[in-house]
Amino acid sequence: MKDQHISHSELVAAADGELSVARAAQVQEHLAACWTCRTSAKEIEDAIAEFVHAHQESVPAQPVEVPRAMLRARLAELAAQPAPGWRDRFADYFMQGNRVAYVAGAMAGLTAILFMVGVIQVSRQQFRLVPDPRLTPGATAAISQEQICRMSATESRVIPASVGRQVFDHYGIDRPAKRAYELDYLIAPELGGADDPRNYWPQPYGVSEWNAHVKDALEDRLHALVCENKLSLRTAQEDISKNWILAYQKYFRTKEPMLAHRTFTKDMPWEP
């Protein structure tokens, strides 16, 4: 019974109450398990309902036999029609009886698109917190620990404007907001970082708590550890160039930036 669909004519007979009690029970059992036949039965019921409503609104009261005969003729006409294919059912689902479902589906698709845009925007923001290793792998100068320790950890260097514009271009930032970024060294000069475009990147101040102020505090801390012989220069360079946020968490033993470091000032903001 479940493997073979009920004919249209038998569905019409079921709707008109002309099947035997046993057969009607079998049909109901099949409809409970068969979406295709259940849809056909619903179409027949809708046709009956439309006919009754139209008849009530447009025709004066008549003997019961008259509208019943008209309804039988309509059901016979419906039974003679071929069962709609899956394409017709699909089109009918979206364009006629299920506009609410269609709109809901469209809204779900739009929500998915907006979600993906949000993910992309967030990933871009995270992308700027840690430099792209393809653009900024870091570069070091030939300098000794002794020379480094004679340098001031708070000494600020000026990167030429033409070089700075190149760096912003490489990162796809066409018009950087004034004082919104620090054109930073990935490996700071006081840690042996070189004046090399491969060592520069635009680090924003305001997109996250992990901002340029916090990285400046880390640079100061690593310089002190190296000069106190508590950390090798090479290790300091590797840690800050690999992931400066993880380096901060490691050397300050905290998962979040310390409050005082969120406004720590060493280098000047970029002003094109």
- The answer as to whether 136 is a domain residue is yes
Q: What is the pLDDT of residue 1?
A: 47
**What is the average pLDDT across 38-60?**
70
Same domain, 81 and 146: no
Q: Rounded to whole angstroms, how far apart are CA atoms 37 and 84?
A: 11
Among candidate residues 74, 97, 120, the one where a domain is terminated: 97
Judge if 39 and 88 occupy the same domain. yes
Range 103-114 average pLDDT: 58
Q: Using CA atoms in the order 109, 112, 113, 119, what is the torsion angle rounded to 10 degrees?
A: 180
If asked whether residues 136 and 245 sit together in one domain, one would say: yes
Residue 269: inside a domain, yes or no?
no
Mean of per-residue pLDDT scores for the chain: 76
Structural domains of the chain, count: 2
Domain identity same for 157 and 75? no
According to DSSP, residue 18 is labeled: -
Residue 237 predicted with pLDDT over 80: yes
Domain residues for the domain of 36 are: 8-97
Establish if 26 belongs to a structural domain. Answer: yes
CA distance 106 to 207: 33
Q: Quote the pTM value.
A: 0.51
Q: Are 223 and 251 in contact (CB under 8 A)?
A: no
Instruction: Please tell me the distance from the alpha carbon of residue 69 to that of residue 65, in angstroms, as a whole number.
Output: 6
Answer whether residue 143 shows pLDDT above 80: yes
Q: How large is the average pLDDT for residues 192-197?
A: 90
Q: In terms of pLDDT, which residue wins out, 232 or 152? A: 232
Task: Look at residue 125 and tell me if it is in a domain.
Answer: no
pLDDT value at position 118? 46
Q: Is residue 82 part of a domain?
A: yes
Residue 135 lies in a domain: yes
Instruction: List Cβ<8 Å contacts ≥24 apart for 227-234.
Output: 227/145, 227/148, 227/149, 233/145, 233/148, 233/191, 233/192
Is 110 a member of any domain?
Answer: no
Query: Is 30 or 119 the better-scoring residue by pLDDT?
Result: 30
- Beta bridge partner(s), residue 181: 204
One domain for residues 158 and 237: yes
Which range of 24-28, 205-209, 250-254 scores highest in mean pLDDT? It is 250-254
In a 3-state reduction of DSSP, which class is residue 193? strand
Pair (71, 143) in one structural domain: no
Q: Are residues 174 and 63 in the same domain?
A: no
Q: Based on the domain organization, do 180 and 240 belong to the same domain?
A: yes
Q: Residue 193: inside a domain, yes or no?
A: yes
Question: Residues 195-230: pLDDT tens digits?
Answer: 898 999 888 877 678 888 899 999 999 999 999 999
Mean pLDDT of 94-120: 53
Q: Tell me: do 150 and 38 sit in the same domain.
A: no
The answer to whether residues 60 and 47 touch, using CB atoms and an 8 Å cutoff, is no
For the stretch 149-190, pLDDT in tens is 988 766 666 778 888 888 888 888 888 888 888 888 899 999
